[in-house]
Amino acid sequence: MPWLRRPRRFLSNMSTRTHRFFVFCIMITIVVISFFLLRNTNSFISQQEQICDSKLNQIKGRELIHHDVSSEKPIFFIGGMPRSGTTLVRAIIDSHPQVRCGEETRVIPRILSMRTAWEKSAIEWNRLLAGGMTEQILDSAVRAFIYEILFLHGPSADILCDKDPFVLKYASYITSIFPSAKFLLVARDARAVIHSVITRKVTITGFSLTDYRQNFKLWNQGFESMYQECKEVGKYRCLIVYYEQLVLQPKQTIKNILKFLNITWVNDVLHHEELIGKKISLSKTEHSSAQVVKPINLEALTKWVGHIPVDVLREIDKLAPMLKKLGYDTKSNVPSYGIPDKLVLRNMDRLRDNAKFWDAQAKAYARNLSNTAIV
């Protein structure tokens, strides 16, 4: 019937209009939400760009600081095989009012060893590079680490110095990150070195407390490595200091050292023992501390004579060819190193006339920890 169809048509039209209105509302809602999301996204991107720009500026700032070395203090390094006189050299130079060396850091050769190991391992090096650790980043970090250690190691000084025996193994690399650095390589007759290692029971990684042959081979290998590094950086950056000449002719030898380092002469460097416990700090974990409390003397110069097996001495040129290369007399069992000057002879008289006093001084700085390996 017609009057029944009209309400149905009317309801159908109303349903269609409602549906269309509902769809329209949804579309409007989506547009509004999209607008706000886009606006917030743009704001977020803008914020991230600002953060990135800020970080980039910070990095650039750090790079500028890193490359601005004008404010850094001069640095030099003292190294050589253990028991060669490196502690004596640093104590003498530490007596200079412009210089501060201090005790062995132990951490500087370790960070240098670690840096070398990273590059030697192709797998590890590629992993570092893949992770964004560029050579420049690593070198900048190692450089900052070393300088921070030296700078904060002790009281302020015009010139900073590091004495870690094995640091000279990395002279070439150190020069690449500290172009103005200088090096002192302390050389000593290997026969005296090995005799000291064995009799004083100094545990050095790889060395034996009984096997002379093994020790001479390791001394030769270690010193040759440092010697080559010294030659690599050149004579204007690296000076070889002979222990024997230092104790026989201290004034001339120290003058040569200071001239090489561009440091003015002061008489304090001839009497370092007077500054022990004052300007010069010694560590009781270092084997040589008990010896350097005394004035420069000849006590340890030829202690090795008569104590090394004769059959080992016959093979010395084969076991330690660097000895001959350094100019040491390997044919004589009692070599002559030179004539002592008057200062040293007076020091020997002082030690003899006040033996109890100097023995007490030595005991006060005697090593009081169990022997641990020098790495």
Which residues form the catalytic set? 104
φ, ψ (nearest 5 deg) of residue 273: -60, -25
Cα angle value 329/325/75 (rounded, 5°):
115
Q: Identify the three-state secondary structure at position 19.
A: helix
**What H or E segment, with its residue span, contains residue 100?**
strand 99-100
Half-sphere exposure of 332 (CA within 13 A, CB side): 9
The CA–CA distances, whole Å, from 191 to 20, 174, 218 equal: 104, 30, 12
Report how far residue 369's alpha carbon sits from residue 371's, in angstroms, rounded to the nearest whole number: 6
Q: Quick check: 211 and 303 in contact, CB under 8 A?
A: no
Helices of type H across 74-161 = 86-94, 107-120, 122-130, 135-152
**Which amino acid appears at position 141 of this protein?**
A
Report how far residue 202's alpha carbon sits from residue 204's, in angstroms, rounded to the nearest whole number: 6
